[in-house]
Structures are given as C-alpha cells and as structure tokens.
A and B are shown apart, each in its own frame.
Chain A
C-alpha cells in the first residue's frame, strides 16, 4: 500500500516564524503535491513537483515555497507565517506526470492542521 506521511498532525506557530511541513511517500511516485484546505473553499493547490528539484506553482503559491531534494520527500515552507495561513495542509503523491490511458489517483497524507497565532 502507498503510504504518505506528514511530519505533524497539529502544529501551532507564531506570526513571523519560519515553518516547515514535511511529507514523505514510500512508493517511488514522481509527483508530489501540497494543498491547502479551508471550509467552503475545497482543496487549493499550492505547489507541486514532478521530479527531484523540479517544482511548479499551483493556484495559491504566494507566501509559500517548496523543496524537493529527494524523490520521496517534499517540504512546504512558510518563510514568515501569518495568521491567514492558518489552515489544513494536505500532501499527496501520484505515480506519473503524464498518463497515456486510465488514471493514477492521488494518495493523500493525513494532513497537518496549522494554527498561526
């Protein structure tokens, strides 16, 4: 079974702190994603990565950066946390970037609920 783990389930940080959210997958997936989930807004893509050291901006990248130094690990960084970044953060991975037929679903981690005070 694919397993996606996130470093923390709950995190409380202060405004202005640098925050690292870590995500690890164990199935050699090419793609990794960071989403933010807010009530009434669904999931919004922050960044994704399709290979080591490769990244692309999603729909809401402002205030965030990412790092993918190893294939299995994808980190989300909040350089200077702000209260409007209080949210649930979900990491996901999927097998390949381009699929000729069929599908490959995204496998999600349990989420990190971040509160910025």
Chain B
C-alpha cells in the first residue's frame, strides 16, 4: 500500500486563485512529520513547509499553509493568491518516527497556473 497518495496528477488554476493540492498518508507510527516540496522546471527540489504529528496548529509559511486533518490522515497544501511562478511539480512527503534519514515521497502533482 502506498504510504503517501497524491490523487491529482495535474491541475490547472487561474492566476490569483487559491489552490489546494491533496495529500493523504498512511502510518501507524504516532510520531511522524509531513513535508511539501516544490520542483520547478529547473529540477531542483525546494522545501516549502513542514507539519509535525503533534503540532497543535496548522503550519503556515507565507502564501503556503498546510491543512492538517489528523483523523482523516490528510495534509493538503494550500497556496493562496497563486502566481505564474507557482507552476511546478509539488511533492508531499512523510517521515515516520524520529528518524530523518528516510523520507517517503508521493508521486507528485503538476500545477499549471494560467495567466
């Protein structure tokens, strides 16, 4: 079974609209962490945001926020006021337990922002 599921292979969104990228995860470890990375066409992966399983509040970083619903095992990325530069591949990833040496990545969602 997949540990990280991103159900949207591709999305098209009008510039300035908000975007929600879906991510569901599967783990039995009570301690885990969830990451979102962005990969522009240049290829380099860029860290966006992190949510720990024990964090009480949803993580936010500028225009990025993470809609963390623990009971549903979902960790959706929300991008407010999308920009053309947000066009990229987005990956959700999970760390299980305290070991940071093995992170599982989802298959990604390609986001296209339309002018």
Checking A56, A58, A103, A113 against B100 with a beta-carbon cut-off of 8 angstroms, the contacting residue is A103
Within 8 A of A (CB), among B10-61: 33, 35, 37, 42-47, 50, 52
Is the interface on chain B under 10, 10 to 19, 20 to 34, or 35 or more residues?
Answer: 20 to 34
Cα A111 to Cα B50 with chains together (Å): 23
Checking A90, A94, A103, A104 against B45 with a beta-carbon cut-off of 8 angstroms, the contacting residue is A90
Whether B98 contacts A88 by the Cβ 8 Å rule is: no
Q: Which residues of A contact B (CB under 8 A)?
A: 31, 33, 35, 40-45, 48, 50, 56, 58, 88, 90, 92, 94-100, 102-111, 113
Cα A43 to Cα B105 with chains together (Å): 6
Whether B101 contacts A105 by the Cβ 8 Å rule is: no
Nearest chain B residue, comparing its CB with the CB of A45: B102
Nearest chain A residue, comparing its CB with the CB of B42: A110
**Given the complex, which residues of B lie within 8 Å of A92, measured CB to CB?**
45
List 5 extra interface pairs beyond A88-B43, A105-B50, A111-B44, CB under 8 A.
Answer: A42-B108, A96-B100, A103-B33, A103-B100, A113-B43
Whether A42 contacts B107 by the Cβ 8 Å rule is: yes
Nearest chain B residue, comparing its CB with the CB of A106: B103
Whether B100 contacts A41 by the Cβ 8 Å rule is: no
Q: Is B68 positioned at the interface, with any CB of A under 8 Å from its CB?
A: no
Cα A56 to Cα B52 with chains together (Å): 25
Given A41-B107, A42-B106, A42-B107, CB of A98 within 8 Å of CB of B47: no
Q: Is B72 positioned at the interface, with any CB of A under 8 Å from its CB?
A: no
